[in-house]
């Protein structure tokens, strides 16, 4: 890895990040469009949840992770505190791995 690689990635990533922010500032948009922006963020976060929970590289991430993420979801639906959800998911997955369930 060269410094050029790092800098190109850094500049590109920052350009993407600041791009949305500046676009948002440039145009005043009606509330309906603002609502669409919020909905697209919801779609993205839900997609990140599902893909990070189920997929690793090109294949299934394995039952340990999927069940851990599922356990976390159940804890969240049961309205348990955020910290309990996060630790519960991690412990479930770690526990399943100790039991050699991939």
Partner 1 sequence: MRSIWRTIDRELVRDVAALAAAVAVVGASFGALAIAAGVPVWMASVMSLLVFAGGSQFMVVGVLAAGGTPFAAVAAALLLNLRHLPFGLVVGDLLGRNRAAQLLGAHIMIDESVAFAMAQRDPQRARAAYWLCGITLFCAWNPAVLVGAYLGEAMGDPADFGLDAAFPAALFALLLPQLREPGPLRVAIAGAVLAVAATPFLPAGVPVLVALLGVVFALPLPKKLERAR
Contact between residue 66 and residue 53 where contact means Cβ atoms under 8 Å apart = yes
Binding to partner 1 by residue 55, rule CB under 8 A?
yes
Contact between residue 63 and residue 43 where contact means Cβ atoms under 8 Å apart = no
| DSSP label at residue 79 | T
Tokens of 24: 């948002």
Backbone angles phi, psi at 56, to 5 degrees: -135, 120
Binding to partner 1 by residue 78, rule CB under 8 A?
no
Binding to partner 1 by residue 76, rule CB under 8 A?
yes
Min. distance of Cβ 27 from partner 1 in angstroms?
A: 10
> How many residues bind partner 1, per CB under 8 A?
74
Residues 5-44 that bind partner 1 (CB under 8 A): 5-10, 12-14, 16-25, 32, 34-44
């Amino acid at each position: 890895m060269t410094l050029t690689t790092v800098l190109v990635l850094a500049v590109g990533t920052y350009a993407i990040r600041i791009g949305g922010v500046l676009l948002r500032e440039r145009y005043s948009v009606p509330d309906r469009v603002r609502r669409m922006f919020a909905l697209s963020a919801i779609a993205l976060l839900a997609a990140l949840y599902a893909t990070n929970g189920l997929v690793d590289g090109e294949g299934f991430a394995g039952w340990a992770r999927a069940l851990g993420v599922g356990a976390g979801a159940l804890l969240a639906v049961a309205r348990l505190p955020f910290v309990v959800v996060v630790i519960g998911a991690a412990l479930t997955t770690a526990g399943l791995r100790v039991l050699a369930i991939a």
